Structure 1
Amino acid sequence: MRSEEQRTFAAVIVAGGSGTRAGLPVAKQYAAIGGTTMLGLAVTRMREAGADPIVVVVPAGEETTARAAIGACEGLLFTAGGRTRQESVRAGLERLCERAPSRVLIHDAARPDLPGEVVTRLLRALDNAAGAIPVLPVADSMISAEGEMRGAMLDRATLRRVQTPQAFSFAEILAAHRSWSGEAIAGDDAEVLAKTGHAVALVDGDARLRKLTWREDFPEANMERTAETIPAFRIGNGYDVHRLVPGDGLWLCGVHVRHDRALSGHSDADVALHALTDAILGAVAAGDIGQHFPPSDPQWRGAASHLFLTHAVGLARECGYRLANADLTIICERPKIGPHRDAMRARLAELVGAEIGAISVKATTTERLGFTGRGEGIAAQASVLVTRC
């Protein structure tokens, strides 16, 4: 039976794509896919396969954006990448040095749907080799090209399509990257290892690991292509609650309201913006606010909740939708909402990019029943309609 040390492994996920070839409005690692983002799905699948720790390599200055794209996921490490993928991989490996894992998987966020069976095959192959890569057979006839003319026929029986993640002995691949003296850009990490004289094993890959590169690979962002196939409108609902504590005012709908109490929460606890954020995320099936901004993450401590709302609006746009109207109800005994209603509507319209006439803010009480009636907290619920852009 394999020891616990042999079963554990670390991972480096390189997420430095620009989306240029796909023509996306955002870097492709942040593109919407399957209710999350490319990067979020890649991290989730790697964590499900057992990777710990996971280093995410992103362009300098994008850690906050990357964290929001990933959502709730404990124990991630981040580092800034370099000018090339090879420099970025080395940065990720160096970030792992203090953990000194025995094995590491190096993966690209551009292949987010990672089957666990591939990881199992890779780790088994490392029992007898310093490196292992997943490959697929070539189905089409293959030739070499001589400019624009046909060259020699190639034997497809000896050819393979290479995928990621690629698995390695950590010490060996780190040493190989540190000693690399070949071209500025290696074909892949297996080539870097092979140059040091180590054998690289092949295991069966999986069609799910295809690299997402072109616009047609991103149906949720390809609005021209899907305009007739995605629904013309979608509806979302959100609900949130925060406790009232002693304080000197609170935030509601992005407006500071003077009061003898405050709302308690990890962020600024704007219960109304949280409900509206969840409603928009729900309308486009993009998870919930806790996935994108986990309360366990210290970077969101005391954060202004309008950041959460504008993130949700941006994700909706990536999915091809804009906010048509929002109906928000705040449930509390105090403070009185009426005097602030117009300011709240104006602030919400500004944040979501809509006309003020599309924004409704209402208030109600529970006739002194329940936690809101006793003044222990404030609740908010929101309903939104999003329409196809």
Structure 2
Amino acid sequence: MSTAAPSSNEHPTVAAVIVAAGSGHRAGGPLPKQYQSLGGETVLACSIAALSQPGVGTLACVIAAGGEALYDEAVAGLPETVARRLLPPTVGGATRQASVRAGLEALAASASPPDLVLVHDAARPFVSAALVDRAINRALAFGAAVPGVPVVDTVKRVDGRGVVVDSPERGALRAVQTPQAFRFAALLDAHRRAAEAGRVDLTDDAAVMEWAGHEVHVFDGEPGNVKLTTAQDMARARAEAEGMLETRVGAGYDVHAFTDGDAVMLGGVRIPHDRALAGHSDADVVLHALTDAVLGALADGDIGAHFPPSDPQWRGASSDRFLAFAVERVRARGGRILHLDCTVVCEAPKVGPHRDAMRERIASICGVSAGRVAVKATTSEQLGFTGRREGIAAHATATLSLPAED
């Protein structure tokens, strides 16, 4: 079923439902996370302000029963240009699905129900104006659209005993974010039908639309559009909001000699060649250099310390596992990757035709946009071992943002 808008509706009215009815206990602290302070403002106020883009008219917040005083205090400092767009808060239900429906019903009962609606988690205060605009445009084009980012970690499906059933191919997987964007009438109808059918287990609005038979499109989300869930998330967010972050830069270098074969792995991409690279793993010099660069920025050893070549479990291993491990160490420290830069040194094969594929693959492994990944190539003017076509070298730099340390 298509929910696309008629092409004649070039200037749709847009509203946003901001879901703030959860208890937020996993984030720690005396208050639900949406009412905790973030750089002098509450998380909820930051999210409301982020959704208050020129293209968004009405703002409808859904809160927990008994949360009116916390809500009033949270929004008291909002600029008048934002506050005047707010409907009175709506009390949510026992589930997120019920809370969203309550917000939609409030919009339906308003003087001017919108053409499009954005549904956003209050716990995502770092959504950018560009992402909000992208959501509106995709909803106008397709009727139902949600932002998503590539899944970095290997995903396992397990049975009731915790035994692995299968491993889905992550290339087709996306971690979905908010704001999710829809034709208002279609989403309201889908929620009403789901409630009437007793379906109360649908975890996001895309799932509600899918259940109702609508086609949902996924567009590019943003790695920085994180959902604040744990105490560690809150600590990282406060550090970012209060300027308590530091920038770290790490360097990495790797080299592998040629051996017999018909392809090389570079940047996670298999490139046909008349030789292969020799190594204990798949000998991907680009991913190895990037791994060391990330670990270097963390001051957390090197690739050999974490994945010693003496350990047989790493024989022939795909090097994306090494880089994903280093990236996870960044996340565990509350950090994020700002930029990755790699230079490949070789006479052959030609890197240029594969540059964009390498950037996309590295970005996917690291959970960042390809715009944060640079891949360059050069020769050594026939000097040294690379000039004699005996092997390939790679130099890498990683720039990270981390909570400041003493």
TM-score (norm 1): 0.54
> For each residue in 1:233-285, what CA deviation from the matched residue of structure 2 results, as whole angstroms up to 9, or x when unmatched?
xxxxxxxxxxxxxxxxxxxxxxxxxxxxxxxxxxxxxxxxxxxxxxxxxxxxx
- Structure 1 match to 2:133: 120
Deviation, 1:96, is 0.5
Q: Match for 1:10: what amino acid?
A: A
Structure 2: how far apart are the matches of 1:35 and 1:92? 27
Evaluate the alpha carbon distance shift between residue 49 and residue 188 of structure 1 in structure 2; reply closer, same or farther with a 3 A threshold: farther
Q: Give runs of aligned pairs for residues 1-389 of structure 1, distance below 5 A.
A: 6-48=11-53, 50-70=55-75, 71-72=77-78, 73-77=83-87, 78-97=89-108, 98=110, 99-146=112-159, 147-180=161-194, 181=197, 183-219=199-235
- CA positional deviation for 1:128: 3.2
Contact 1:13 1:56 in 2 (8 A): yes
Aligned residue number for residue 247 of structure 1? none
User: Which amino acid is the alignment partner of residue 86 of structure 2?
Assistant: L
Give the conservation status (yes or no) of the 8 Å contact 2:39–2:238: no
User: How far is 1:59 from its partner?
Assistant: 1.2
Contact 1:49–1:116, Cα closer than 8 Å, also in 2: no
Q: 3-state DSSP class of the match of 1:88?
A: helix
**Identical aligned pairs, as a percentage?**
42
Partner of 2:202, secondary structure, is: coil
The code of the aligned residue for 1:170 comes to: F
Query: Residues 115 and 127 of structure 1: is their aligned pair in 2 closer, same or farther, counting only changes over 3 Å?
Result: same
Unaligned runs of 5+ in 2: 1-6, 246-406
Contact 2:21/2:91 (8 A) holds in 1: no
Shift of 1:120: 1.8
Contact 1:24-1:221 within 8 A present in 2 as well: no
Whether the aligned pair in 1 keeps the contact of 2:147 and 2:221 (CA below 8 Å) is yes
Corresponding residue for residue 384 of structure 2: none
Q: Is the 8 A contact 1:16 1:57 kept in 2?
A: yes
Q: Which amino acid aligns with 1:86?
A: Q
Question: What amino acid does structure 2 have at the position aligned with 1:6?
Answer: H
Retained in 1: the 8 A contact 2:12–2:116? no
| Matches of 2:55 and 2:69, distance apart in 1 | 24
Amino acid at match of 2:14: F
Contact kept, 8 Å, 1:16 with 1:81, in 2: the verdict is yes
What is the CA–CA distance in structure 2 between the aligned matches of 1:4 and 1:201, rounded to whole Å? Answer: 19
**Distance in 1 between residues matched to 2:131 and 2:114, nearest whole Å:** 20
How big is each residue's C-alpha offset from its partner over 1:114-166, in whole Å with a ceiling of 9 and x where there is no partner? Answer: 11111222222223322100000111222212333333121001111011110
CA distance in 2, matches of 1:222, 1:34: 6
Structure 1 vs Structure 2 CA RMSD: 2.4
SS in 2 for 1:154: coil
Task: Give 5+ residue unaligned stretches, structure 1.
Answer: 224-228, 231-389
Partners of 2:187 and 2:202 lie apart in 1 by 13
